[in-house]
Amino acid sequence: MATKYGGYMGKVVLLDLSTRTAEDYPWTDEDREKYIGGKIMAAKVLSDHLTGKEQPFSEENWIVISTGPLTGTGAPSSSRFDLSCLSPQTGILTSSNCGGSFGYYLKKAGIDALILKGRCEKHTWLEIDNGRFIFHDADADGLWGLRTTEGQEKLESLLTAKWGARRAFGKLMIGPGGENLVLYSAVLSGERAAGRAGVGAVFGWKNLKAVSVTGNHEVKVYDPVKNEKWNRKWFKYLRKHPLTGNQLPRLGTAGLVSAMQMRGILATKNYSAGRYEKFEFVNGETLAEEHNIVNKGCLTCPIKCARTVEVQGRKVKGPELETLVLLGGGICNHDLEKILLWNAELDELGLDTISCASTIAYAMEANEKGLWDNGLVFGKTEGITELFDDIAHRRGIGAELAEGSRRLSKKYGGEDFAIQSKGLELAAYEPRRAVGQGLGYAVSNRGGCHLNGGYLVILEGLGLNTNPLTPHAKADFTMLFQDLMEMISATGQCLFTSYAFFPGFLITRPGGIVTRIANAAIPFIGWALRFMNKFPLALELHLPVFHQTKGMCYAVGMKMTFGKYIRCGERGYTLDRWVSTRFGIRAKDDSLPKRLTDVPQDPSDPKTRVPLEQMKKTYYRARGWTQDGVPTERTLKKLGIL
Amino acid sequence: MVHIKLFGLLRLDTGLKELDAEASTVAQLYPILLAEARRVKPATKVTAKDIDGCTVMINGKQGRKSSRLKDGDQVLLMSPVCGG
Ligand code: SF4
């Protein structure tokens, strides 16, 4: 359907994999205004489709591959796209965000979003060429069974043989993990991964090994002159910012390991501690000094946080912070080379590094406590590479580990130390010394995700230094940050651009008077946040540190202000939650393992645990949900969802 | 004598991983560090202000600029970071 807005291609396609037929999915400008794109748009599509009875492994589980309006407009870090569906790991809605170039090429094919329903009859790969859908036999073409790099190379050679070398393609590919329905398997796109919550397994169940996309459509922006000028300014701002222009490009996310150690939030030995005595072997500095990092990044990204590292004569993708921590101190391993090789191996197999590492840590502790005799021991790293392969192929003990920590803890016991929420394993931040982050993990729509949870740790020691143990104002900040990130993601931008929201001096001058006032004031401004969260539309303004709103005005032509931006994010977040409530999600599911809520990290300081129930109450109230965590009719109406 | 370890961009920018120094407060370490950084990496752009902004830990506990030091203490200095 044509659109008056810039940035959009005006086409959403519903493709039935069972019948191999495509039709236009009705999507109007009113939908675009309300649901923007990316994960929010996907939540709306899935909300209109899902009743609460569907199963993740079923033809009724649709996969929505959606871009944002900024994708392809030249806005910084705007090549992200989302894969959304019911997660086999959590049983509820998930949205996995991915970088690389696939989103950009989907738009070049003239498509804003592609909805996949049904199931391919046999192993298939899908070619999208300017809006044409061509189904190929993944067995006959030798793709099924391949690891992700080999698979993508093979796909490239198939496409080159057909089209010649001059066409460029975006690609999606699952590995053996997805083919064998490992509940936390990923979808790879180049080196980037839509890692979390098992979208790869849904591809596998649908017999869809890979997707390629190309086209020669042009992404038109609303006001090309202003858009270009604004983007130049925005790029400059990000390049100058101490975080997006210096720390992230130079140390990547791995640069946080040492800071987390100092703050006592470095998940260690399956979250039994917040500091790892051998962290210096596995931190970002050592990685930078010893492994010859070369920066890489997604399309149109000035930050370029991704990296290639050298290990044992190989060049491999550098690990993200989460992998470094959870395959390091998380399992008491201080061999950095092993982590680098494991990280590459997990990508090859198409497995989520966070859930895989955390499930293994759970298994090690279950073995240590005599609950499950599985031979896995903290600090013993021999055989782990083979174990990954067993998981991806569901062999031996690997078949059990493929189910994730929630299911294993139900079977063997130890739910107190299965570090997951709603079935999704937590990221690497130990929340007992960053309690707002703890709340975020628990209430996060897709389960224990640090980003979807609001990433409060940025106020609690990794950025600002507000009291990490106080619950005050944490619920209100959680809501604000969740909504902001929801919207950034929906526009097609990388969440890392949001870090530039904090003026540089607040980060580089932690002892400065303004920074100290900010840190001290944060716990006391919950009331102001509550007002802002309640009446965001009163904020009819643009903030100088938040370039996103004007970016939307110039690229898309929507009259976006900071207030409207937050309101769109709130709509998306609540809509996602509302869908999950159809699948039975309630306050009881917004939980953390007892280790984090009942056992203080420091036995002499009872405050070093997450006071979850107290914060949840404020959070639900701020969101306009019932105390059982269900969005009220009034809230749904206020947000225009009903 | 106290043992100092550096982390974050401070380490990359000074080229210093660790060193020993005589000092009775954390503040006294800063000029020593700066001088050493300039010796090891003459082109370093690190300033006294950058070092001043660092997070300090002394023997595993949070410290500050004014914290007192004694012989054998281990001081960790980290430039501020955020995000991930
Ligand atoms: S910041 Fe990193 S993940 Fe985000 S778009 Fe840039 S390179 Fe990709």
Place of tokens 């902004």: B53
A298 CB near ligand 1 (under 6 Å): yes
Q: How far is the CA of A243 from the centre of ligand 1 (A)?
A: 13
Closest ligand 1 atom number to CA of residue A497: 1
- Residues whose CB falls within 8 Å of the CB of residue A434, separated by 6 or more in sequence, listed in order: A263, A265, A456, A457, A460, A461, A468
Closest ligand 1 atom number to CA of residue A100: 8
Domain assignments of chain A as residue spans, ordered by start: 12-214, 252-425, 434-638
* Amino acid A166: pLDDT: 83
A250 CB near ligand 1 (under 6 Å): no
Is some CB atom of chain A closer than 8 A to the CB atom of B48? no
- Contacts with B60 from chain A: Cβ below 8 Å: 275
Protein residue with its CA nearest to atom 2 in ligand 1: A305
* Amino acid A529: pLDDT: 87
Q: How far is the CA of A493 from the centre of ligand 1 (A)?
A: 9
A75 CB near ligand 1 (under 6 Å): no
A126 CB near ligand 1 (under 6 Å): no
- Residues whose CB falls within 8 Å of the CB of residue B20, separated by 6 or more in sequence, listed in order: B1, B2, B3, B4
Low-confidence ranges of chain A (pLDDT < 70): 1
Is some CB atom of chain B closer than 8 A to the CB atom of A259? yes
Protein residue with its CA nearest to atom 8 in ligand 1: A298
Strand partners, A126: A135, A211
Residue A243 distance to chain B (closest CA, Å): 7
Place of tokens 């006959």: A140
A252 CB near ligand 1 (under 6 Å): no
Q: What is the CATH number of domain A252-425?
A: 1.10.569.10
- Residues whose CB falls within 8 Å of the CB of residue A161, separated by 6 or more in sequence, listed in order: none
**CA–CA separation, A384 vs A338, rounded Å?**
9
* Amino acid A112: pLDDT: 98
What's chain B's Rg over C-alpha atoms? 12
Could you tell me whether strands A294-296 and A124-129 are parallel, antiparallel, or unpaired per DSSP bridges? Answer: unpaired
- CB contacts < 8 Å between A and B, how many? 81
**CA–CA separation, A409 vs A65, rounded Å?**
32
**CA–CA separation, A454 vs A593, rounded Å?**
19
CB contact under 8 A, B9 and A243: no
CB contact under 8 A, A508 and B7: no
* Amino acid B55: pLDDT: 86
Pull the structure tokens for residue B31: 């000029």
Interface of B with A in 18-47 (CB under 8 A): none
* Amino acid A511: pLDDT: 79
The CATH architecture assigned to A12-214 reads: 4-Layer Sandwich (3.60)
* pTM higher than 0.90: yes
User: Structural domains in chain B?
Assistant: 2-78 (3.10.20.30)
Place of tokens 């230094």: A465
Residue A262 distance to chain B (closest CA, Å): 7
Q: Among residues A327, A56, A330, A306, which one has the least CA distance to residue A206?
A: A56
Place of tokens 């309101």: A567
A466 CB near ligand 1 (under 6 Å): no
Low-confidence ranges of chain B (pLDDT < 70): 82-84
pLDDT in tens, A1-16: 589 999 999 999 999 9
**CA–CA separation, A322 vs A73, rounded Å?**
31
* Amino acid A420: pLDDT: 98
Q: Among residues A241, A342, A324, A316, which one has the least CA distance to residue A285?
A: A324
Pull the structure tokens for residue A360: 């293994």
Q: What is the dihedral of CA A152, A157, A162, A167, to 10 degrees?
A: 70
pLDDT in tens, A201-236: 999 999 999 999 999 999 999 999 999 999 999 999
What's chain A's Rg over C-alpha atoms? 23
Phi, psi of A457 (to 5 degrees): -60, -20
* Amino acid A532: pLDDT: 84
- Residues whose CB falls within 8 Å of the CB of residue A8, separated by 6 or more in sequence, listed in order: A32, A37, A69, A112, A556
Mutating to test ligand 1, I would choose from A192, A494, A498 the residue with most ligand atoms within 8 A of its C-beta, which is: A494
Fold of A434-638: 1.10.599
CB contact under 8 A, A510 and B9: no
Q: Is A10 buried (19+), middle (13-18) or exposed (0-12) by CB count in 10 A? A: middle
**CA–CA separation, B39 vs B51, rounded Å?**
16
A243 CB near ligand 1 (under 6 Å): no
* Among chain B residues, CA nearest to A502: B82
Identify whether the C-beta of residue A486 lies closer than 8 Å to the C-beta of residue A95: no
* Amino acid A30: pLDDT: 97
* Amino acid B65: pLDDT: 87
A71 CB near ligand 1 (under 6 Å): no
Interface of A with B in 12-51 (CB under 8 A): none
Query: DSSP code of A117?
Result: E
- Residues whose CB falls within 8 Å of the CB of residue A564, separated by 6 or more in sequence, listed in order: A536, A537, A549
